[in-house]
Structure 1
């Protein structure tokens, strides 16, 4: 459990420090080119994958509450896995998923109440007297962007041929990376972490 807690705390610290730094030092939409294939690009979203939105404020509230229930289930899964002395890879994977989910939940639950703007013409101020939202209505901060290739697709590709395309065009954060890594470990090491009972 100590190793699991270490992973969770480490991921949460890196995630929240990076988000708060970006939020309080970048204009919304500002981009810094680190390499041609890696950029820091500040955007925000309501917390769904690929920035998708549904149902307005009610949808946002439902999503946040759903995540709180989901994180409770993931936490219980981690606890029981540790108690059963499950494979180390399983413990690491669940810890990463838990930490990533918690990182984005912190944004969704609290950021609307502690920052004065979700972006725009001004750089946000932490612990503002005039926050941009309410509890459970914060936006998730994203900044990691890896546009490894941009160009027009070959014309022979159905539907998308000849159109401009960027790989990889998603912008994400450390929490998303932790979740993806955890899920990836479960997929790659499926037979080790979920052995069949003889």
Structure 2
């Protein structure tokens, strides 16, 4: 398989899977509902207006800025991916960049379209292609559902500031698109020499000059 086809296949499978899972959760569960897969893994439907892990800023203006920023960033990722395909870099690098692109696009789709194709999920299951959607174009909410409460308990008292408080690891709820970005970054880190050969060479040359 060519590197171009590998990238296209990775992107198509990743984005379709992301959207199928999100649409299924959105059309089968009310906000806050879900089910337990294992004691340490749950499906818990939440939505957020802002960045990964539920962080938000700037209200409606901040949401618009974030959506537009993601669109610009995706354009840069496309150029980065195309450049690496031409260079015929390691397949893991192609997959890594493709996953980062897929993750960004997956959440952009939520922000762009979900506000105009779904109605509200509060206390009820949402309807796809609803007559009365909950929002507007560019202001859709990102759907999250993966929750891994691997450990919960009171932190030791000797820990500064948060000692003695209840803590859950991992407390953040995320979606497939977020996972793609994390996996993609991890792949680029593992294969950093293949992903950033010039930078690696410069660092090596600088280290050798410092020693001489």
Determine which of 43, 47, 50 is the counterpart of 1:47. 50
- Aligned runs of 1:1-198 on 2, under 5 Å? 1-117=4-120, 119-195=121-197, 196-197=200-201
Larger Rg: 2
Runs of 4+ in 1 over 6 A off after TM superposition: none
Deviations 1:92-143 (A, max 9, x none): 11000000100000000000000011x2111100001111000000000000
Deviations 1:43-92 (A, max 9, x none): 00013022111111111111101110000100111111101212222111
SS at match of 2:158: coil
Cα pair 2:67 2:138 within 8 Å, conserved: yes
Matches of 1:166 and 1:106 in 2, distance apart?
A: 30
Cα pair 2:99 2:184 within 8 Å, conserved: yes
Per-residue deviation, 1:192: 3.1
Per-residue deviation, 1:191: 2.2
Matches of 1:83 and 1:114 in 2, distance apart?
A: 38
SS at match of 1:160: coil
Per-residue deviation, 1:193: 2.3
Superposition TM-score, scaled by structure 1 size:
0.96
More helix by share: 2
Which residues of structure 2 form unaligned runs of 5+?
Answer: 206-212
Cα pair 2:52 2:174 within 8 Å, conserved: no
Superposition TM-score, scaled by structure 2 size:
0.90
Which residues of structure 1 form unaligned runs of 5+?
Answer: none
Cα pair 2:14 2:102 within 8 Å, conserved: yes
Matches of 1:53 and 1:159 in 2, distance apart?
A: 23
Q: Please give the root-mean-square deviation of Cα atoms over the aligned residues, in Å.
A: 1.1
Cα pair 1:47 1:104 within 8 Å, conserved: no
